[in-house]
Amino acid sequence: MEDPASFVTIETPKAAVGDLNFTGNQLSPQAPLGIKDALSWRRLQLRRAKLKAASRTSALLSGFAIVAMVELEIGQRPVPDWLLVAFACAASLLIAVHMLALMISTCILPNLGIATPMDARSIRESPHDKMRVFIEIAWVFSTGLGILLFLVVVVLLAWVKFLTVSRGAAIGATVIIAPVVLLFLIFSLLFYRQLTLHKFQRATKLVQRLQRDLKAFGDDPGVAEDVDGVVKVV
């Protein structure tokens, strides 16, 4: 006669939705991201895009500056020393600024690429918030200061190249690029102002919505703690 215990089946508890545990080779279902994780994922995506743009821009412009210094032929032409010093300093500063931005982008980007929207833990462990200062430095150096230095180097290169051949060519290059530099500075200021205003308006609307949700949930301490955490992040 068979043992009755052999007919007893033991049910193992199933993984809850949102758990980050592996069962065999299958990953348990993922819950939607919370408010804090969703905001963190958005910031991560924005800073990753900034680093990618900074790395591409820096590699291109620094390469141009190096080629300009290597291919420049002066020979016996009587180019003033102050002009050569100004060109050498501007080109060297351009290369240094873009190399710094490129180094920051190259070091931080791999650490941001491992985060996925399906894994809240990877978003929380991503260093995009801790490295925010370095990311902004790379972004400003590459797209702000770096492009401005690039325009200055183009003007100085025109003077060094054409001063003894045709002064009018050097003056023409300066007349064309000078308004571009002015427009670049105006656009930078207006862009920063509009971006700051947009972020402030979005943060204000988000805080107001969270406060309405908090009132709707009542005096639940867990909800209040989550809302306070989101407000601090915003």
**Within-domain flag for 155:** yes
Number of domains in the chain: 1
Domain containing 144 equals 43-115+128-213
Amino acid at 154: V
* Alpha-carbon span 53 to 135, nearest angstrom: 11
Indicate whether 60 belongs to any domain. yes
Task: Please check whether residue 11 lies inside any domain of the structure.
Answer: no
Residue 22 parent element (H or E): strand 22-23
Q: The CATH number of the domain where 95 resides is what?
A: 1.20.140.140
- Does 146 reside within a domain? yes
The share of the chain scoring above pLDDT 70, in percent, equals 75
2 inside domain: no
How is residue 24 annotated by DSSP?
T
Q: Where are the beta strands (DSSP E) in 24-175?
A: 26-27
**Residue 156, domain member (yes or no):** yes
Low-confidence ranges of the chain (pLDDT < 70): 1-34, 75-77, 119, 217-234
Whether residue 220 lies inside any domain: the answer is no
The pLDDT tens digits of the residues spanning 30-41 come to: 556 667 777 778
How many angstroms separate the CA atoms of 174 and 133, rounded? 35
Does any domain span residue 75?
yes
Residue 123: closest CA among 54, 34, 22, 234: 34
The pTM assigned to this predicted structure is 0.68
